[in-house]
Structure 1
Amino acid sequence: MIQSMTGFGKHVVQLPSKKITIELKSLNSKNLDINARLPQFYREKELELRKMIADVLVRGKVDFGLYVEITGEETTAEVNQGVVRKYMKQLANIAEGDNLKLLELALRLPDTMKTEKGDIDQTEYDAIKTAMKEALSEISIFRNEEGQVLEEDFNERLKKLNDLLEQVKTMDPERLDTVRERLEKAVADLKVELDENRFEQELIYYLEKYDITEEKVRLANHLNYFGTTLKSNDSNGKKLGFIAQEIGREINTIGSKANYAPMQQLVVQMKDELEKIKEQMLNVL
């Protein structure tokens, strides 16, 4: 079963004095690219949290946010009183004003707040890891649901490609007869005497250059392999991409060898269906 790289997961955990929110968003990418946003206080745990994400999401452009809202009286930030008083004294020397306005201006200046760096409480961090697991579970469910939609679309495109291939197979004998007649008529119009045996040999050689038997067999095999890979337990986006490239090569070769307008029209339709598959393939894990 395939999985999309597009997803969203969110989980909120309420602690006695804090509300912690874990949010994950992912889009398609060739590799795993994690953009993490979390408060400075939790930076020491960033690598461990990144590993939790990498183990589950594997690939994609992931935005990870850890947001903390203080709901109780607990806070690690304090006013740097010495710095604020110095600012207020300097401001008072520059311009007159009441102390409240001077305080308001002073608090906007650098270094007026200081944060006490302490250790992360283990109970709190366990709650964060639990929230992360829940958010990862949600985004995985989202990705699976998106993957089911993609799989249905791929199966529909595969059916159309197989139907078009059957039309190509049915049309092929008529195409070769038409090409043969065209060549015979061209030679007849030259009004020159030819050795019939030699002409037949040259004609067979020429027709063999337009033979698409191998391409039809390989294309059928590639389409079958694509469908089988879709049903595998793992999401094989890169593998499916390689198979799609091989499908494209066989379609292009059939088009270049066709030399027959009705068949080339079928080839154009096949290319259109394959292009739609390739567009969606960019989003498969």
Structure 2
Amino acid sequence: MISSMTAFARSSRSGPLGEFTWELRSVNHRYLELSLRLPDTLRGLESRVRDLANRELSRGKVDIGLRYVPPVEAASLELNEPALQAVISAAMRVRDHLGAHTESLNPLDLLRWPGVVKSADGADQETLENEAMHALQAAFGELKATRRREGDRLAELIEERAAGVLELATKIGERIPAIREAWRDKLRERIAALGVPVEPARLEQELVLAAQKGDIAEELDRIGIHVKEIRSSLHKGGAVGRRLDFLMQELGREANTVGSKAIDMEITQAAVGLKVLIEQMREQIQNIE
């Protein structure tokens, strides 16, 4: 099962410690890039959030935001006196270093400092952070489920186009013998029109050279192999986006060669069709993890 890198998830968890609401937004990216927005009270969660994201995801640009609403009972604030005194002492020392032109300490700024205000039920910071992480795990579960559902739809689209590539390659392969024979007849007609005698051996040599110049059997075989690898990767699942992107490059190279060697209008048109299907697959694969 493959996963898309484009998804959104929102998870809320309410309880005695308040309400925790996580929002996760994910879009395609070459690597895993995280952008975090955490309230000051829970800013210490950043390393844990990053660790969890790295375990859960492989690629994508992911925005992670948390909104925390303390419980109503927290209206009667309980100060953590040791923490408050430590913050005040540190602030006074900083002010002494800066000189007399510094502004006075703002009490509201002190209250915003993590750990200065205790929660209403006396829960410590670790308990608060653990509760927030439980809600985040649920959000990641929803995000991954959404990415998998989107991945299933992408896999169907890619499979349809891969089947189209294989169908066109098969038609081109079936057309080759008739093209070779038509080329032989055309070459004989041109020689006859010139009225110049040509040795049979020389004629056969020219026919062989022309056949080699327009031979695309190897390219068609490799196209079939690449399509088989694409299907295998889709069936295998996991983080296969980079592998699929590489296979698209190889398919594109083979399609370009088929087009450049084409000595027949039908093959030229089929080569254009191959390129269109490959480009459509490439666009879809950019969203695969």
Q: 2:207 aligns with which of 198, 203, 206?
A: 203
Aligned to 1:115: 110
Deviation of the 1:182 alpha carbon: 2.5
Q: Report the TM-score when normalising by structure 1.
A: 0.83
Aligned to 2:55: 55
Aligned to 1:131: 135
| 8 Å contact from structure 2 (residues 42, 114) kept in 1 | no
- 1:206-251 deviations in Å (ceiling 9; x for gaps): 2211111111111111111111111004230100111111111111
Taking the TM superposition and a 5 Å limit, the aligned residue runs for 1:224-243 are 224-243=228-247
What secondary structure does 2:24 align onto? strand
- 1:148-191 deviations in Å (ceiling 9; x for gaps): 00111111111111111111111111111222223233333333
Structure 1 Cα separation of the partners of residues 205 and 68 of structure 2: 82
Where in structure 2 are there 5+ consecutive unaligned residues? 80-104, 116-123
Structure 1 Cα separation of the partners of residues 78 and 257 of structure 2: 69
What secondary structure does 1:10 align onto? strand
| 8 Å contact from structure 1 (residues 218, 250) kept in 2 | yes
Q: 1:168 aligns with which of 168, 172, 176?
A: 172
Deviation of the 1:192 alpha carbon: 2.3
Structure 2 Cα separation of the partners of residues 60 and 17 of structure 1: 32
| 8 Å contact from structure 1 (residues 17, 74) kept in 2 | no
Deviation of the 1:140 alpha carbon: 0.4
Aligned to 2:21: 21
Aligned to 1:69: 69
Letter aligned with residue 288 of structure 2: V
Structure 2 Cα separation of the partners of residues 9 and 28 of structure 1: 15
Letter aligned with residue 242 of structure 1: F
| 8 Å contact from structure 1 (residues 77, 115) kept in 2 | no
Structure 2 Cα separation of the partners of residues 267 and 219 of structure 1: 12
What secondary structure does 1:249 align onto? helix
What secondary structure does 1:26 align onto? strand
Instruction: Among all aligned residue pairs of Structure 1 and Structure 2, give the percentage whose two residues are the same amino acid.
Output: 31
| 8 Å contact from structure 1 (residues 210, 257) kept in 2 | yes
Structure 1 Cα separation of the partners of residues 2 and 223 of structure 2: 22
- 1:247-272 deviations in Å (ceiling 9; x for gaps): 11111111111110011111111111
Aligned to 1:158: 162
Aligned to 2:83: none
Q: Report the TM-score when normalising by structure 2.
A: 0.82
Structure 2 Cα separation of the partners of residues 174 and 115 of structure 1: 86
Deviation of the 1:21 alpha carbon: 0.8
Structure 2 Cα separation of the partners of residues 180 and 244 of structure 1: 35
Structure 1 Cα separation of the partners of residues 108 and 252 of structure 2: 62
Where in structure 1 are there 5+ consecutive unaligned residues? 79-109
| 8 Å contact from structure 1 (residues 147, 284) kept in 2 | yes
Deviation of the 1:133 alpha carbon: 0.6
Structure 1 Cα separation of the partners of residues 260 and 165 of structure 2: 18
Greater shift after overlay, 275-284 or 167-176?
167-176
2:270 is the counterpart of 1:269 = no
Deviation of the 1:115 alpha carbon: 3.2
Taking the TM superposition and a 5 Å limit, the aligned residue runs for 1:174-253 are 174-253=178-257
Greater shift after overlay, 189-198 or 149-158?
189-198
Aligned to 2:89: none
Deviation of the 1:194 alpha carbon: 2.3
What secondary structure does 2:196 align onto? coil
Deviation of the 1:46 alpha carbon: 0.6
